[in-house]
Amino acid sequence: MATIVLAHGAWSAAWAWKKMRPLFRGAGHEFFSPTYTGLGERAHLSNPEIDLSTHINDVAAVLDFEDLKDVTLIGHSYGGMVATGVADKARRRIARVVYLDAFAPKDGESLFDLVGPQAAENMLGKAKGEGGGWRVPAMPMPPDTAPADVSWATPRRRSQPLKSFEQKIRLQSTEPLSRHYIYAKKAGRAMCSASSANAPRARRAGSTTRSTPATIRTSPARRT
């Protein structure tokens, strides 16, 4: 049995992984998917001061209060930023980190650094406009998302606090940690911009990330 903790993506929350819970339970695993402050069922706590550190602390606190050990920590998309910080902060509780189409930052990098200037400028513009200066409205879901899933997810998605994308991560731990990168592709193309931005970096850092349509393989990666 594995203990699995998920760091979810931007605009999302624990609800987005509802369909995975019975699958993990059926396989005998414990599965935790903490919702970040300001999103999902915690949207009422949203405020301009929420940043990446807030979300890292959200997940790290679950590890502490649940006394979780030997954890497989999964970071999805923006959650790779969070998972990287959690692994640094709570190293003794983490057995491995799995980046699932996720951003894999180095020390001193923000999500805006990784998405590139054009994407960052677009999100900043939306925040300054309809986001009241501090919220980034949810981006459209992938065009191949099933209509039923779009109808289910859209009213649940919430604007992301801008500072969570702006803050640069600070890493201190030098202890080695098993890291894996899953680069998902469909019909021969990347399914997520985080994959196309970070899988090549993972390979350069020493991991071998391979994927084919409908088949995903991963191998250990050194710290990126």
33, 46, 77, 211: which is the annotated catalytic residue?
77
Collapsing DSSP states into helix, strand and coil, what is residue 112? helix
Give the separation between CA 202 and CA 215, rounded to whole angstroms. Answer: 19
Copy the structure tokens of residue 90.
């709570």
The verdict on whether 77 is a catalytic residue reads yes
Closest CA to 115 of 55, 192, 184, 8: 192
Closest CA to 190 of 80, 102, 79: 102
Kindly state the DSSP code that residue 176 receives in the 8-state scheme.
-
Q: In which element (H, E) is residue 61 found?
A: helix 52-65
Q: Which residues fall within 8 angstroms of residue 27, CB to CB, at 6 or more apart?
A: none
Q: Which residues of 39-53 are buried (b: 16+ CB within 10 A; e: fewer)?
A: bbebeeebeeebbbb
Give the separation between CA 86 and CA 99, rounded to whole angstroms. Answer: 13
Copy the structure tokens of residue 15.
């609800």
Closest CA to 71 of 9, 28, 14, 29: 29
Residue 27: CB atoms within 10 Å: 11
Active site residue ranges: 77
